[in-house]
Structure 1
Amino acid sequence: MTVQSALQEEQQRLGMTVREIETQLAAIGPAYTGNDFTEQMLDLQREERKKRLEIAYKEPYFGRIDFQELPGNEVKPLYIGKAGVAKDRTNELLVVDWRAPVASLFYSFTGGDAAVTYDSPDGEVEGHVHLKRNLMVRQRELVRLVDSFTRGQEEDAVTDEFLLYRLGENKDNRLRDIVSTIQQEQDLIIRSERNKVLFIQGVAGSGKTTVALHRLAFLLYQYAGRMRAERMIIFAPNRMFLEYISGVLPELGVGDIQQTTFADWSLELLEHEVALRGAEEQLAYWFEQSHTQEELDRAPGRLKGGAAFKAEVDERIAELERTLAPAAPFEPVDGLVLKPETILEWFNTDYGEESVMRKRERLASRIRRWFESELKVRRIADKKVRAKALTRLNAYIKKIPSYTAPQLYATLFQGKTASAIIPKELAKETAARLKNGEVYPEDLAPLVYIHLRLFGLSQPMYDHIVIDEAQDYSPFQLEALKLCQTIPSMTVLGDLQQGIHSYTGIGRWQELMGLFGEEQTGFFELNRSYRSTMEIIEFANRILGAMEGVKPAVPVFRSGDPVQLQAVADNEWLDEIARSAKALEQEGGLQTISVIGRTAVECEMIHAHLAAAGIEASLIQSKQPNYNGGLSVVPAYLSKGLEFDAVLIADAGAEAYGKLDAKLLYVGCTRALHKLKVLYRGTPSPLVQPA
């Protein structure tokens, strides 16, 4: 078949599919506004169907695979899209949902005439692929067609043509779904079983975040009725990143998944008993100057986030639990005695695995019931006697230990009960802040952990948890999140090469993987970078070249302009930044450009100079909730997770980036999709000097 005839065939098929979707949308009718419960439930189903059809209407499908199931000889064309569509009257499947088992062939098949298989609900299905075709549909118009395999023909090197075309598109201010270009190694992660904690080590630009989001959509499809969107949660590094990824799930037809940061979630869980203070100052302290490895190892985040401190917290909770059952007898009325042995038996046999303060509450209720029963049996009606007895009861119950999470946490920093792990000065400072109802970010994980151990989770357990940029998490944070699930089901993703928050994060994935049983975990590596050109990836790899145990990113074969490395004098530095930014804006076709500075202070100075030069740019700061595209100025440590068509590194001089800053500079450089220019003052950093 010629390309022209294939185009005509696909245009006819697309037209027929669009007309069918239009007909079905028109037939749904207006929303029900009455009070009949049955009709309300039916209307919810109609609204869900309408949402799926509206997604399909914009872009009915993106791929086609012709499959011949064995035994048999009928070859069926299967069109793959974001939402499944069937004809109303005949139920003939026009579009297969990308999450359906048979659709996995579109992602896993890489060529060859051998039989292939996929797992269906009825077992393994075997067959032959006769055609694999990529289709780009925009606003119901076919704009591109690429055949990556045709059975019986010699295979040309076109497998990645469609992918390269999509990667070459310019970037807007939102992360996009990758459903039409999911690669085989990404699809394996997306379709992995639910009851696992998957750890994904992915280089910059490997698509790990989008893979995790697509995995959520897959799990909701595959385990419909058993997993629910409102019982899923995504933890992102900051609010701006949440805004950046906000469009992906709705495009996939998924809503109601909670998206938050660990800090915001923690404060809400703690019912704002404490306020987070000093986060900005903490960022400034660790990023406005360089630090030795010894300073990083003794950082409060690493001390309070480690296994040794958690062991102390566990012992303090165990000690509290041991002292809940009173050791003294209760005598509400002379001669009426409740023995401590009886109370201890109640406590040990009746309350199982409940949270500590729930056990206390139930024990107190049990003592009150015994009290009321005994007074009734003994017919004690005298008001004075009863009032005195009630006073004794309240006093007795009041002596049973009761703590909030901040109260119990504070005992780890006071007097003889103080932690042996935390240095005295840090303990003193923490105690003072807790007294004022204030905490640092590293206090949140132990506080949440204590709260969950004391009170449990006040909502249904989470079906699935996604943790992005997990290399910046402490083990204690995962220990807290483990308490929010009955069966571990998580997608934990990050890049050790981008572990710039080393004052609180991890150095090896085993630090987190070791918190789970070996049978509960899975580990995947995504070393192929789809974001940047070959030239940018090779330059970035050179920055990390001296690091032990680091695998270089493997670029997709997409070539672009060479990376520009330019010296600039101190007195011309700001003017050169303005000139370079203006030149990039004038190139055309670059929708997002970023000037990446070393520190927040430096970025404020650059932003002010650009404004004075009449160049409009946005300044990205740590509390900022939105990223609006265009030209922006951002510190390297806040750029992580974002992508830009072009990046200008403001200063990669030796004074700005030493050897311990390799990860930070790597993060900045790997934000660029198509163009990267690097300025430096004085001597260039050894990280960017030619080998």
Structure 2
Amino acid sequence: MQKTVQQEEQERLDAALRDIEEQLRGIGPRYTGQDFTEQMLDLQREERKNRLEVARKEPYFGRLDFQELPQNTGVNPGEPKPLYIGKAGVARNGSNELLVIDWRAPAASMYYSFTGGDDPAAYSSPDGDVSGYVHLKRNFMIRGGEIVRLVDSYIRGQEEGGVSDEFLLYRLGENKDNKLRDIVSTIQGEQDKIIRAERNKALFIQGVAGSGKTTVALHRLAFLLYQYEGRIRAERMIIFAPNRMFLDYISGVLPELGVGDIGQTTFGDWALELLEHSVQLADPSETMAYWFEERRTIEEIEASSGRWKGSLAFKASIDERLAKLQESILPDAPFVPLEGFTLTPSMMKEWYETDYGDETVMVKRDRLVSRIKRWLESELKHRGVADKKKRSAALAKLNSFVKRIPSYTALQLYASLYKGKTALPDVPKAIAKTTSERLQAGYAAAEDLAPLAYIHLKLYGLAKPPFDHIVIDEAQDYSPFQLEALRLCQRTPSMTVLGDLQQGIHAYAGIQRWSELMDLFADGDTDFFELNRSYRSTMEIIDFANYILGGMTGGVKPAVPVFRSGDPVTAVETSDEGWLPAVSETVKEWKAAGGFDTISVVGRTAKECAEIHRYLLAQGLEASLVQSKQPTYGGGLTVVPVYLSKGLEFDAVLIADAGRANYDAIDAKLLYVGCTRALHKLKLLYRGERTPLLEKWQG
């Protein structure tokens, strides 16, 4: 009886798993001795073990049958060779033959870039371009050692318009849990170009909600470590996320790809550590409450402290002050500790500018002071000055002289910009007063951290090695000054900067166009990519979300949904008395229907969400409440303020109240963020008149 394709592939999988298990058994225990060579060999064995552990869970997810064309066109091509592609490359036991090709390997790039047709495909190898014909592209889903799904998305010679999206749609239809997943088996061609882009540039990615931009950035880190092995290190890479809960949400992706030791933080936490916690951060929830709970106008946003302190105009003022400090460091009078002892200003200038020319301001200052002290000690010794009174007098003059050489911490210099004779003349008075009082109490607002970090780096430089690569997520909420501070932490630009201008809800601090950040770099140091396909939500949800925006801003394209249809979006009117029961009934209905692992009730404010949460608990529903300082997201039924929902995904979303009182015309991006959290189902309730954003929507 002839075997089916599924049976043949299962036998091949069984053999691969036996090979992997045999290799794992042969590795043996860890080495615990002190021999350096054995320690290095043990590290190599441990790395191999980690790769095999990754492969054991899911050895591969794809197969590409490739017939390589020889360089000499007169030679007949060989037979098509099956390439099995997985998260980790694995060689056969006791052989150099590859059992599985790492998804980051050059040949594996064809699995992502090939879009069908009979024309030759190609990839770039260290030895040059390699071309040939693809005969088969096959997708696998493997769970527990079994092939649970097999899809042939291309077979050479069969009539079809291109590679089918069947496997992608199947994966997209899966439910969500409380962690972001890797997409290594479904990376699309436009995503793969970003992942494999050259290292020494600042890549800017404009990606619509659900375009996979965060996951693409994480896969890019894994690719860079593979591609530039030995030249870059994981511990010198860093991810900047919007908050700690989001860091927890994405925490599983890199380990699944076999990558560890990459730093993950928020800009605020990084800046405070850089400043050695010399200042405390004012509660960030107060900032969000100010802008999202109290509802501010466009004029207030434009005049906000965050807009001013994040601007390049403010940076220019600080640079001017730093230049003046640089000039004032050098003494303009000689140092004369004793009669006949003279250290001239010209000598001190030579030490400062020549010997320490590449150092930062305060480092040069401190080294100059140390050099002056050594000079005095040398002179006293050389001239045989043993008299204690003379030595004491000389040291007293030294201390007096050194005190006149300016010395600042970043906090001291920054505070001086807001008060007294040293205050900057162009800082708005209200901002200067509030900032000065806050700093005096030992606190800094979130918008103070970029200038503080920048000043510290200019004064003292980096205590640690520079970053090999930086990832900045939700970068539309970054100010130019924040990015400028991070630029100082690299020798050459190597960044992945991603976000969505349509989700720029922190207008009091963020940008309106990507050029505001890209213009910080020299010509040729940046690349721009736009991801406008949304893989998260159904067509109905994306079309509805696009309608809410009523047009794109910042010159970006609207979201284009993958062809995955679902239930229509509904908006239902409710009364003040019936509102909370309607929320509860909807949740109960969705839970009873089954099929949703994660459900979110999205409220407008923290106060509204607390009220909803209390009511759901009273109705016997187990629900969690997301708050601003929350470090983790647990899945299940969640109540979340809309401004804290960014980056998260849920199977079903209920917008608790889309009435005019909650979402006016100015709140289009905020409502867009809430709606695009939904994968499969979206419903809106509203009390009274519904938001004008839906004035002409029929639904």
Name the TM-score, length of structure 2 as normaliser.
0.97
Structure 2 residue 676 is matched with structure 1 residue 670: yes
Residue identity opposite 1:581 in structure 2? V
Structure 2 residue 330 is matched with structure 1 residue 331: no
Q: Partner of 1:338: helix, strand, or coil?
A: coil
Runs of 5+ in structure 2 lacking a partner?
71-76
In the TM superposition, residue 157 of structure 1 has moved relative to its aligned partner by 6.8
Residue identity opposite 2:585 in structure 1? R
In the TM superposition, residue 417 of structure 1 has moved relative to its aligned partner by 2.2
What residue is the counterpart of 1:535 in the other structure? Answer: 540
What residue is the counterpart of 2:381 in the other structure? Answer: 376
In the TM superposition, residue 7 of structure 1 has moved relative to its aligned partner by 1.0
**Counterparts in 2 of 1:547 and 1:69: CA distance versus 1, 3 Å:** closer
CA contact (8 A) 1:308 1:421 kept: no
Structure 2 residue 509 is matched with structure 1 residue 510: no
Measured in 2, the distance between the counterparts of 1:547 and 1:171 equals 28
Measured in 2, the distance between the counterparts of 1:409 and 1:590 equals 51
Measured in 2, the distance between the counterparts of 1:283 and 1:674 equals 29
Q: Partner of 1:200: helix, strand, or coil?
A: strand
Measured in 2, the distance between the counterparts of 1:145 and 1:669 equals 33
- Corresponding residue to 1:563 among 566, 569, 577: 569
Q: What pairs with 1:220-299 in structure 2 (closer than 5 Å)?
A: 220-299=225-304
Residue identity opposite 1:26 in structure 2? R
Structure 2 residue 659 is matched with structure 1 residue 659: no
Moved more, 597-606 or 420-429: 420-429
Q: Partner of 1:445: helix, strand, or coil?
A: helix
- Corresponding residue to 2:686 among 672, 680, 685: 680
Q: What pairs with 1:632-643 in structure 2 (closer than 5 Å)?
A: 632-643=638-649
CA contact (8 A) 1:236 1:467 kept: yes
CA contact (8 A) 2:154 2:162 kept: no
**Counterparts in 2 of 1:149 and 1:174: CA distance versus 1, 3 Å:** same
Structure 2 residue 486 is matched with structure 1 residue 481: yes
In the TM superposition, residue 155 of structure 1 has moved relative to its aligned partner by 1.7
Runs of 5+ in structure 1 lacking a partner?
none
Structure 2 residue 415 is matched with structure 1 residue 427: no
CA contact (8 A) 2:116 2:162 kept: no
What residue is the counterpart of 1:306 in the other structure? Answer: 311
Residue identity opposite 1:62 in structure 2? F
Moved more, 105-114 or 3-12: 3-12
In the TM superposition, residue 658 of structure 1 has moved relative to its aligned partner by 0.7
Q: What pairs with 1:153-172 in structure 2 (closer than 5 Å)?
A: 153-155=158-160, 159-172=164-177
- Corresponding residue to 1:601 among 604, 607, 622: 607
Measured in 1, the distance between the counterparts of 2:242 and 2:425 equals 31
What residue is the counterpart of 1:9 in the other structure? Answer: 8
Q: Partner of 2:426: helix, strand, or coil?
A: coil
Measured in 2, the distance between the counterparts of 1:420 and 1:675 equals 54
Q: Partner of 2:211: helix, strand, or coil?
A: coil
Measured in 1, the distance between the counterparts of 2:348 and 2:558 equals 62
In the TM superposition, residue 688 of structure 1 has moved relative to its aligned partner by 2.3
Deviations 1:309-330 (A, max 9, x none): 0001111111111111111211
Residue identity opposite 2:45 in structure 1? R
In the TM superposition, residue 355 of structure 1 has moved relative to its aligned partner by 1.0
Residue identity opposite 1:87 in structure 2? R
What residue is the counterpart of 1:61 in the other structure? Answer: 60
Structure 2 residue 583 is matched with structure 1 residue 577: yes
- Corresponding residue to 2:549 among 539, 544, 547: 544
CA contact (8 A) 1:463 1:489 kept: yes
Q: Partner of 1:217: helix, strand, or coil?
A: helix
In the TM superposition, residue 158 of structure 1 has moved relative to its aligned partner by 6.0
CA contact (8 A) 2:116 2:163 kept: no
Deviations 1:380-416 (A, max 9, x none): 1111101110111122112111110000001110123
What residue is the counterpart of 1:623 in the other structure? Answer: 629
What residue is the counterpart of 1:113 in the other structure? Answer: 118
Measured in 2, the distance between the counterparts of 1:238 and 1:511 equals 23
Q: What pairs with 1:121-136 in structure 2 (closer than 5 Å)?
A: 121-136=126-141
Residue identity opposite 2:46 in structure 1? E
**Counterparts in 2 of 1:27 and 1:260: CA distance versus 1, 3 Å:** same
Q: Partner of 1:234: helix, strand, or coil?
A: strand
Measured in 2, the distance between the counterparts of 1:188 and 1:688 equals 37
Deviations 1:441-464 (A, max 9, x none): 000000000011111111111000
Q: Partner of 1:559: helix, strand, or coil?
A: coil
Measured in 1, the distance between the counterparts of 2:386 and 2:372 equals 19
Moved more, 369-378 or 242-251: 369-378
Q: Partner of 1:361: helix, strand, or coil?
A: helix
Measured in 2, the distance between the counterparts of 1:112 and 1:435 equals 68
CA contact (8 A) 1:55 1:83 kept: yes
Moved more, 218-227 or 393-402: 393-402
Q: What pairs with 1:29-108 in structure 2 (closer than 5 Å)?
A: 29-71=28-70, 72-108=77-113
Moved more, 380-389 or 51-60: 380-389
In the TM superposition, residue 685 of structure 1 has moved relative to its aligned partner by 0.7
Name the TM-score, length of structure 1 as normaliser.
0.98
- Corresponding residue to 1:554 among 548, 560, 566: 560
Structure 2 residue 456 is matched with structure 1 residue 456: no
Moved more, 454-463 or 70-79: 70-79
CA contact (8 A) 1:646 1:676 kept: yes
CA contact (8 A) 1:652 1:680 kept: yes
Measured in 2, the distance between the counterparts of 1:557 and 1:420 equals 57
- Corresponding residue to 1:192 among 179, 194, 197: 197
Residue identity opposite 2:42 in structure 1? D
Measured in 2, the distance between the counterparts of 1:552 and 1:156 equals 26
Q: Partner of 1:628: helix, strand, or coil?
A: coil
Residue identity opposite 1:688 in structure 2? L
Moved more, 575-584 or 216-225: 575-584
In the TM superposition, residue 289 of structure 1 has moved relative to its aligned partner by 2.7
In the TM superposition, residue 432 of structure 1 has moved relative to its aligned partner by 1.5
In the TM superposition, residue 109 of structure 1 has moved relative to its aligned partner by 0.1
CA contact (8 A) 2:179 2:251 kept: yes
In the TM superposition, residue 278 of structure 1 has moved relative to its aligned partner by 3.4
**Counterparts in 2 of 1:414 and 1:574: CA distance versus 1, 3 Å:** same
In the TM superposition, residue 4 of structure 1 has moved relative to its aligned partner by 6.4
What residue is the counterpart of 1:406 in the other structure? Answer: 411
CA contact (8 A) 1:652 1:678 kept: yes
Q: Partner of 1:112: helix, strand, or coil?
A: coil
Q: Partner of 2:336: helix, strand, or coil?
A: strand
Moved more, 538-547 or 23-32: 538-547
Measured in 1, the distance between the counterparts of 2:233 and 2:144 equals 31
Q: Partner of 1:149: helix, strand, or coil?
A: strand
In the TM superposition, residue 337 of structure 1 has moved relative to its aligned partner by 1.5
In the TM superposition, residue 35 of structure 1 has moved relative to its aligned partner by 2.3
What residue is the counterpart of 1:418 in the other structure? Answer: 423
CA contact (8 A) 1:569 1:681 kept: yes
- Corresponding residue to 1:386 among 381, 386, 391: 391
CA contact (8 A) 1:202 1:493 kept: yes
In the TM superposition, residue 547 of structure 1 has moved relative to its aligned partner by 4.4
In the TM superposition, residue 233 of structure 1 has moved relative to its aligned partner by 0.3
Measured in 1, the distance between the counterparts of 2:361 and 2:528 equals 34
Measured in 1, the distance between the counterparts of 2:663 and 2:343 equals 70
Measured in 1, the distance between the counterparts of 2:93 and 2:613 equals 57
**Counterparts in 2 of 1:374 and 1:470: CA distance versus 1, 3 Å:** same
Q: Partner of 2:254: helix, strand, or coil?
A: helix
Measured in 2, the distance between the counterparts of 1:174 and 1:381 equals 72
Q: What pairs with 1:464-479 in structure 2 (closer than 5 Å)?
A: 464-479=469-484
Moved more, 145-154 or 466-475: 145-154
Measured in 2, the distance between the counterparts of 1:330 and 1:132 equals 79
In the TM superposition, residue 648 of structure 1 has moved relative to its aligned partner by 0.3
What residue is the counterpart of 2:73 in the other structure? Answer: none
CA contact (8 A) 2:213 2:499 kept: yes
Q: Partner of 1:566: helix, strand, or coil?
A: strand
Residue identity opposite 2:27 in structure 1? I
